Amino acid sequence: MGTHDQASRTLATDPAGWRFDNSYARLPEVFFSRLRPVPVREPRMVLLNRPLAEFLGLNGEILSVQDGAAVFSGNRLPVGAEPIAQAYGGHQFGYFTMLGDGRAILLGEQITPRGERFDIQFKGSGQTPYSRRGDGRAALGPMLREYIISEAMHALGVPTTRALAVVTTGEPVVRETELAGAILTRVASSHIRVGTFEYLAARDAAEHVRTLAAYTLRRHYPELEPSDNPPLALLRAVMERQAALVAKWMLVGFVHGVMNTDNMALSGETIDYGPCAFMDAYDPATVFSSIDQQGRYAYGNQSRIAQWNLARFAETLAPVLDESREKAVDLANEVLESFPDVYRDHWLTGMRAKLGMITSEEDDAALVQDLLTHMHRNRLDYTNTLRDLAADHPERLPLFQDQAFAEWLKRWQARLKRQPESSGAMPSVRERMRAANPAVIPRNHRVEEALKAAVDHGDLRVTHRLLDVLAQPYAEPIDSDYRLPPPPSAGAYKTFCGT
Ligand code: AMP
Ligand code: MG
């Protein structure tokens, strides 16, 4: 048989477009366990992300009609998948534990038509050697929630894992009550975490740390491979991406909620949508997670926690940074100590854009801070206040009837007048501001409403409408109710880890 026949047969056996190359499964066996997803009773397709499928080179038509339910439940493995559960550890609320994919299975790495590599991972696909006491399963509500919020983050322009599909399993999962079981298919640049390094370091395996550092560089930072000290270049690059990422979270009012080191991806993507939520009224102390009693992962703490997590990452790298322990620590500290400034630069640049500033002035940070202080004192909605500033006549907003705030408005308007504003090609200040301040975020009451309809009544229409609006967060929604903060009757919002 000639090569042509060979090629056409490959195409014929895989009309859905799967094209796997599983580099992680070629790493040393300590990094993972090989296993197959546990088959489920009666899989049903709930959501398929067509644009994402297309981006990945998959045929959405075939996946939704013919074999989506079988494939996205794990009942039928796509051609070329080499399923594994990944090993990792992590500091959870400050304490180290050995963890691993307890309810997730990596099918493999899909190579897109553009030649990019993405992990295809099931979440909720049954027990693994790392399940500890867990059942390896997930419920429909939390998987839909991850789908909605991660796709909203993507549309907001925040680096994130994405959601390709949700299926129900036809099997109940037992939590406080019996719930419908579901599996989410997550797409990520990779699932390498700070915790992956911690797992190897805890086993005192410097050789494996070196291997993983080289693998991570090749996969995410190939331009740094020729560096004099590749692990140090990796540390610096990861620090920079985390600084940029957390700044973006802060700029859109996102509270991750469970920034354990196992939930920090070295790709710089947001990962693990458990107890996350968006802040309504501006308050740095905002916490949604029911288990975060101390506010460790509060909105205003996120940059400090990122730096703490990076310190844990640096510790795992220390043995491969330099032969001398002392020198290794110095090298790591120099990178870690630069984090606050790198973070602040990203954040201030983003805040300037939100306020329509295209130049820098000494007093900009103070001007921004005074706005935030005013929001905080008056419990103003973070998203809407900023979006309102982009209105044609902000001085007419009820906001500015307050004397202190009217003075701030004057300062801000004077500041804008001091920058060059060419009349022609450049978009106006208002337009620029609207492109930097979302009109719509996944408001908690809206997300809950969608989940309730889907879970209690099998009605996906509310979810689809919400997904449509969230896909264009910087456009004015046709139904302006999507901009409203929750009614006071909604009370304080609480989230739970996504089990
Ligand atoms: P998370 O809070 O989602 O970051 O999860 C922390 C750890 O708990 C990870 O190792 C998960 O795989 C594991 N885990 C969470 N839920 C389950 C479950 N239902 N069954 C088994 N392991 C779980
Ligand atoms: Mg996790």
- Give me the residue spans of the domains in the chain: 6-191, 224-341, 347-436
Global pTM? Answer: 0.96
User: How many whole angstroms from 103 Cα to the centroid of ligand 1?
Assistant: 6
Predicted confidence (pLDDT) at residue 171 exceeds the cutoff of 50: yes
CA–CA dist 330, 416 (Å, integer): 43
User: How many whole angstroms from 295 Cα to the centroid of ligand 2?
Assistant: 18
Measured from the Cβ of residue 208, the count of other Cβ atoms closer than 10 Å reads 18
Please identify which of the residues 5, 135, 204, 262 carries the catalytic annotation: 262
**Nearest alpha carbon, ligand 1 atom 8:** 102
* Confidence (pLDDT) at 5: 42
Lowest mean pLDDT among 44-58, 139-153, 353-367, 421-435: 421-435
* Confidence (pLDDT) at 420: 84
* Confidence (pLDDT) at 131: 97
pLDDT band at 400 (very low <50, low <70, confident <90, very high): confident
CA–CA dist 128, 10 (Å, integer): 31
Those residues with Cβ within 8 angstroms of residue 97's Cβ, 6 or more apart along the chain or in another chain: 89, 90, 91
CA–CA dist 20, 393 (Å, integer): 54
Residue 345 catalytic?
no
CB-CB contact of 156 with 441 (8 Å):
yes
User: How many whole angstroms from 128 Cα to the centroid of ligand 1?
Assistant: 11
Over range 163-176, report the average pLDDT.
96
Average pLDDT, the chain: 94
Q: Which of 128, 45, 117, 47 is nearest to 83 (CA)?
A: 128
Predicted confidence (pLDDT) at residue 23 exceeds the cutoff of 80: yes
Predicted confidence (pLDDT) at residue 6 exceeds the cutoff of 50: no
* Confidence (pLDDT) at 488: 86
**Nearest alpha carbon, ligand 1 atom 23:** 102
* Confidence (pLDDT) at 1: 37
User: Any idea how long the chain is?
Assistant: 499
Predicted confidence (pLDDT) at residue 283 exceeds the cutoff of 60: yes
Ligand 1 atom closest to the CA of 262, numbered from 1 = 4
CA distances from 75 to 36, 38, 42, 169 (A): 9, 8, 10, 10
* Confidence (pLDDT) at 402: 87
**Nearest alpha carbon, ligand 1 atom 16:** 499
Burial of 121 (0-12, 13-18, 19+ CB in 10 A): buried
* Confidence (pLDDT) at 7: 41
Ligand 1 atom closest to the CA of 499, numbered from 1 = 16
pLDDT band at 404 (very low <50, low <70, confident <90, very high): confident
User: How many whole angstroms from 111 Cα to the centroid of ligand 2?
Assistant: 24
Predicted confidence (pLDDT) at residue 424 exceeds the cutoff of 90: no
Q: Which ligand is nearest to the CA of 498?
A: 1
Phi, psi of 31 (to 5 degrees): -75, -15
Residue 159 token pair: 């680096």
CA–CA dist 364, 355 (Å, integer): 10
CB-CB contact of 185 with 121 (8 Å):
yes
CB-CB contact of 118 with 56 (8 Å):
yes
Per-residue pLDDT of 105-142, as tens digits, reads: 999 999 999 999 999 999 999 999 999 999 999 999 99
Predicted confidence (pLDDT) at residue 3 exceeds the cutoff of 70: no
Ligand 1 atom closest to the CA of 260, numbered from 1 = 4
Phi, psi of 337 (to 5 degrees): -70, -20
* Confidence (pLDDT) at 497: 74
Ligand 1 atom closest to the CA of 135, numbered from 1 = 20
Measuring from each residue's beta carbon to the nearest atom of ligand 1, which residues come in under 6 Å? 99-104, 131, 134-137, 258, 262-263, 272, 274, 497-499
Q: For the CA atoms of the chain, what is the radius of gyration?
A: 24
CA–CA dist 429, 352 (Å, integer): 11
Over range 11-30, report the average pLDDT.
87
pLDDT band at 426 (very low <50, low <70, confident <90, very high): low
CA–CA dist 166, 374 (Å, integer): 42
Lowest mean pLDDT among 53-62, 64-73, 256-265: 64-73
Over range 313-321, report the average pLDDT.
98
